[in-house]
């Protein structure tokens, strides 16, 4: 599968559970014509047939190369980012929950579900395949939420894109604003459209000095069916916005900043 097919499929799956993204994209299409995607992100479980190392070859097969690795000790996560030689192709960020570092009770909850994941050949469609385990009970979801929101979200939603990201660098509508005002203007447009913005650590995460500023909506909410047919409205996915700055050599930074990403993860909090 080539990147164009990959992202087309991914977008359709994404807006099915994140309708806010389609609305917000149209807001910026109205002022800019085209909205460029900076990157997408995925979540998965470590020590399973769908762990990071199992998904990585599918990304590399589309022409990507490993960009960097990251650790989020407080959230018990590790992650890798991937970059494509064609600068117009979005970057990919994959994180995994280090389940062995969770409490015994959390591990016990997860164990009965992830044991259902079957090993076998997969292709790029795994990135919009959803749950590979039975619908969890709402009680298990709530208990897991107390320790790892990331794990509870993944247990309920499955393997699906967590967010797309608007590249502010490619929005002509903000070109006349000072660099530091551009992301504030974008987030202002999002709020004017009626959507809440993640305020953890401030609306804008990062700084020009860090070469990356990011902001995001709070996740959409949708009714999810849990075991026994029980339905509850929970957070699904969100839309992000990124502004990249040039380094001292004039090269626009293409990496990720752990301190920023740590706060962006909070966008799926209830």
Angle formed at CA 182 by CA 80 and CA 85, multiple of 5 degrees: 35
In 33-169, which residue ranges form alpha helices assigned H by DSSP?
52-60, 104-114, 138-145, 149-157
CA distance 188 to 24: 12
Q: How many other CB atoms are found less than 10 A from the CB of residue 154?
A: 26
> Is 90 exceeded by the pLDDT of residue 266?
no
On average, the pLDDT of the chain sits at 94
Instruction: Give pLDDT tens digits for 195-227.
Output: 999 998 889 999 999 999 999 999 999 999 999
> Is 90 exceeded by the pLDDT of residue 262?
no
Angle formed at CA 39 by CA 35 and CA 40, multiple of 5 degrees: 110
Give pTM, 2 decimals: 0.94
pLDDT at 270: 67
Q: What would the two tokens of residue 124 be?
A: 């790029």
> Is 80 exceeded by the pLDDT of residue 184?
yes
Instruction: Give pLDDT tens digits for 75-134.
Output: 999 999 999 999 999 999 999 999 999 999 999 999 999 999 998 889 999 999 999 999
Residue given tokens 């909410």 in the structure block = 221
Q: How many other CB atoms are found less than 10 A from the CB of residue 42?
A: 24
Phi/psi of residue 203, nearest 5 degrees: -65, -35
CA distance 168 to 92: 17
pLDDT at 258: 77
Question: Of all residues in the chain, what percent are helix, strand and coil, respectively (each to 5)?
Answer: 40, 25, 35
pLDDT at 103: 96
Strand partners of residue 234 = 222
Provide DSSP, 58-70: HHHTTT-EEEEEE
Residue 166's SS3 state is strand
Residue given tokens 């000095």 in the structure block = 209
CA distance 243 to 245: 7
Residue 94's SS3 state is strand
pLDDT at 123: 95
- What contacts 5, CB < 8 A, 6 or more positions away? none
Strand partners of residue 83 = 65
pLDDT at 265: 78
Confidence of residue 180 (pLDDT cuts 50, 70, 90): confident
Mean pLDDT of 22-27: 96
| Helices vs strands, H then E, count in the chain | 8, 10
CA distance 43 to 95: 5
Residue 123's SS3 state is coil
Residue given tokens 């994209």 in the structure block = 25
Could you please state the CATH topology (level 3) that the domain comprising 3-268 is classified under: 2,3-Dihydroxybiphenyl 1,2-Dioxygenase; domain 1 (3.10.180)
Instruction: Give pLDDT tens digits for 36-78.
Output: 999 999 999 999 999 999 999 999 999 999 999 999 998 999 9
Instruction: Give pLDDT tens digits for 128-154.
Output: 999 999 999 999 999 999 999 999 999
CA 229 to chain centre: 28
């Amino acid at each position: 599968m080539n990147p164009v097919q990959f992202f087309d499929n991914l977008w359709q799956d994404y807006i099915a559970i994140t309708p806010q993204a389609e609305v917000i994209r149209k807001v910026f299409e109205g002022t800019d014509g085209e909205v460029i995607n900076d990157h997408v992100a995925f979540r998965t479980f470590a020590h399973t047939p769908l762990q990071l190392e199992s998904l990585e070859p599918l990304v590399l097969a589309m022409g990507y190369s490993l960009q960097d690795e990251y650790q989020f000790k407080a959230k018990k996560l590790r992650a890798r980012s991937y970059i494509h030689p064609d600068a117009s192709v979005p970057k990919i960020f994959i994180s995994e929950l280090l389940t062995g570092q969770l409490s015994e009770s959390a591990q016990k909850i997860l164990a009965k579900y992830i044991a259902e994941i079957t090993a076998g050949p997969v292709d790029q469609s795994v990135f919009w395949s959803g749950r590979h385990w039975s619908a969890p009970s709402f009680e298990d979801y709530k208990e897991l939420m107390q320790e790892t929101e990331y794990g509870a979200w993944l247990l309920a939603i499955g393997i699906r894109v967590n967010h797309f990201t608007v590249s502010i660098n490619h929005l002509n509508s903000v070109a006349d604003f000072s660099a530091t005002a551009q992301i504030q203007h974008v987030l202002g447009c999002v709020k004017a459209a009626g959507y809440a913005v993640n305020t953890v650590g401030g609306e804008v995460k990062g700084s020009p000095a860090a070469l990356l500023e990011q902001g995001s909506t709070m996740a959409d909410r949708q009714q999810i069916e849990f075991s026994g047919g029980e339905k509850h409205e929970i957070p699904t996915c969100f839309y992000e916005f990124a502004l990249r700055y040039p380094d001292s050599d004039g090269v626009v930074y293409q990496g990720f900043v752990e301190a920023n990403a740590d706060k962006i993860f909070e966008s799926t909090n209830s």
